[in-house]
């Protein structure tokens, strides 16, 4: 582990007024996205869509790093340039999702455990050799009757910590993503309770595995009401409870926080982040690592048609700019 390399990379990832673009949709997820605009899910269409994103004019003004799916990390653009090389050439750090997805947790109905630790050390060494600067691993926690269980939280946070330590062994900054899912009818207070328990466990495991926090980025979900809750919390309450929770559990020397949007609308994701960043006493950089909240409107405008490329890219940049403004509390 070279702490200087980790800190340098993490600082670039957290650079104001930028955020991290999540474009690491798994094969099933990108299939759903393309199906929503009646475009066939094949390698060429996936390349076309992701090339639309990375070649959007002035993207690097708002984006510091891009999380890629393994296919995209090794994929070439239409002119033969590797996506990862193109991103670095325009000043965007290339990163890669390294987990193998959330699978059923044995003997725990409706709960998941993220897999992918087998062979990870060798994969990480190869990713670093090929230009990756950071990685991402996502754990999912569901709120429902009698869940999440201790087994679900502890096993997922243990896996996140083991992944993070292996990343840093290879001079890759780990993004640790403990997502408390927005799906459900739960209240904001129930979400707060589960998020606190998850973060407490996570940082306990990170300490256990000697993970270097100044070279680690946290990608949490916000403390928010369930999507199906009839009386959802206000923007101000979400921002207030989220920051209070993070201050109680996230050490000040953590490199930074980059929120996932996690099923929020574009307006919700940018508004919550904007209010948080209007506080003057945050001990860490607080920014975004959004996928849908930046991409969704651009995807709908594209419709898989080359003639819609420029208009789609304009929408993408507008969304990235609004999220960038939110990350410094200056959204208008």
SS3 300: helix
What is the C-alpha to C-alpha distance for residues 74 and 60, in angstroms, rounded to an integer?
21
User: What distance in Å separates the CA atoms of residue 326 and residue 130, rounded to the nearest whole number?
Assistant: 33
Determine the Cα–Cα distance for residues 319 and 325; give it in Å rounded to an integer.
Answer: 10
Active-site choice (177, 179, 268, 270): 177
Please give the distance of CA 328 from its chain centroid, rounded to a whole number: 18
d(CA 15, CA 64): 7
> Which contacts (CB < 8 Å, 24+ apart) does range 109-112 have?
110/142, 110/144, 110/147, 111/142, 111/147, 111/148, 111/149, 111/151, 111/152, 112/140, 112/142, 112/152, 112/156
Q: Is 268 designated active site?
A: no
Which of the residues 18, 97, 112, 219 is marked catalytic?
219
Active site residue 197: no
* Tokens encoding 217: 């980025």
Distance CA(313)–CA(316), nearest Å, equals 5
Q: At what angle do helices 235-249 and 266-276 cross, to 10 degrees?
A: 60
CA dist., res. 175 & res. 67, Å (int): 10
| Per-residue CA distances from 158 to 139, 146, 323 (Å) | 10, 21, 31
Q: Which of 177, 255, 159 is nearest to 222 (CA)?
A: 177
- Cα radius of gyration (the chain): 19
Six-digit token string for 30: 């990108």
Residues acting as catalytic residues: 177, 219
């Amino acid at each position: 582990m070279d702490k200087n390399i980790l800190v340098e990379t993490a600082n670039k990832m957290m650079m104001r007024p930028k955020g991290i673009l999540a474009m690491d949709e798994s094969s099933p997820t990108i299939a759903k996205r393309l199906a929503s605009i009646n475009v066939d899910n094949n390698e060429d269409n996936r390349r076309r869509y992701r090339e639309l994103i990375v070649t959007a004019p002035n993207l690097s003004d708002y984006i510091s790093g891009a999380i890629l799916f393994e296919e995209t990390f090794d994929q070439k653009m239409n002119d033969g340039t590797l996506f990862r090389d193109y991103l670095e050439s325009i000043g965007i750090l290339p990163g890669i999702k390294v987990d193998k997805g959330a699978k059923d947790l044995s003997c725990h109905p409706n709960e998941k455990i993220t897999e992918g630790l087998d062979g990870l050390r060798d994969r990480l060494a190869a990713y670093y050799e090929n230009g990756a600067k950071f990685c991402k691993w996502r754990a999912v926690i569901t709120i429902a009757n009698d869940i999440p269980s201790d087994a679900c939280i502890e096993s997922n946070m243990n896996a996140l910590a083991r992944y993070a330590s292996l990343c840093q062994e290879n001079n890759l900054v780990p993004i640790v993503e403990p997502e408390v899912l927005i799906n459900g009818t739960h209240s904001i207070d129930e979400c707060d309770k589960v998020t606190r328990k998850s973060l407490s466990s996570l940082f306990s495991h990170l300490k256990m595995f000697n993970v270097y926090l100044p070279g680690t980025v946290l990608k949490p979900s916000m403390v928010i009401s369930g999507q199906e809750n009839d009386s959802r919390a206000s923007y101000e309450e979400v921002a207030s409870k989220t920051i209070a929770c993070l201050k109680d559990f996230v050490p000040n020397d953590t490199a930074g926080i980059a929120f996932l949007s996690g099923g929020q609308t574009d307006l919700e994701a940018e508004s919550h982040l904007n209010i948080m960043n209007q506080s003057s006493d945050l001990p860490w950089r607080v920014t975004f690592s959004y996928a849908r909240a930046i991409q969704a409107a651009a995807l709908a405008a594209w419709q898989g048609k080359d003639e819609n490329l420029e208009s789609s890219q304009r929408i993408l940049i507008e969304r990235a700019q609004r999220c960038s403004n939110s990350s410094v509390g200056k959204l208008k």
